[in-house]
């Protein structure tokens, strides 16, 4: 009768030990999976940042050198986008000229037109 009692305790210890190992493994998997997902989004973030940078350089050149954008002034006097670029990204911009102050707001985006949960956006705001 005593050997049957010892076998029950051994089974209980094995179940508790396996539960603890499973919990630790699940926690490690959660951390690793989050880090892998984050590292994938860094590349996407760089592409969105590059799209916004390309758009801001283009609009600043057109406004400050060529002087062909928003000549009449006003709030939201010029909008553009989404404008595709070569790196699988796009950008949208809004420009306002009020009282001698110019404001440009631009958002670069990776995977334009894709599932909204998978889209990465980065942006700039320039005032001068």
3-state secondary structure the chain: CHHHHHHHHHHHHHHHHHHHHHHHHHHHHHHHHHHHHHHHHHHHHHHHHHHHHHHHHHHHHHHHCCCCCCCCCEEEEEEEEEEECCCCEEEEEEEEEECCEEEEEEEEEECCCCCHHHCEEEEEEEEC
Q: Give residue-wise pLDDT tens across range 62-119.
A: 888 888 777 777 787 888 878 887 767 888 999 988 888 889 899 988 877 767 667 7
Query: For 11-40, how does the pLDDT look when each residue is reduced to its tens digit (9 = 90+)?
Result: 888 999 999 999 999 999 999 988 888 777
The model carries a pTM of 0.62
């Amino acid at each position: 009768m005593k050997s049957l009692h010892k076998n029950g305790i051994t089974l209980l210890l094995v179940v508790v030990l396996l539960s603890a190992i499973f919990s630790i493994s699940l926690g490690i998997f959660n951390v690793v999976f989050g880090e892998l997902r984050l590292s994938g989004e860094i590349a996407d973030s760089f592409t969105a940042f590059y799209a916004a940078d390309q758009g801001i350089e283009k609009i600043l050149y057109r406004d400050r050198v060529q002087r062909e954008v928003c000549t009449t002034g006003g709030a939201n006097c010029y909008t553009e986008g989404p404008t595709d670029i070569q790196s699988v990204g796009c950008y949208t911009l809004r420009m306002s000229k009020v009282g001698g102050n110019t404001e440009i707001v631009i958002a670069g985006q990776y995977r334009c037109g894709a599932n909204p949960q998978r889209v990465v956006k980065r942006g700039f705001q320039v005032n001068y």
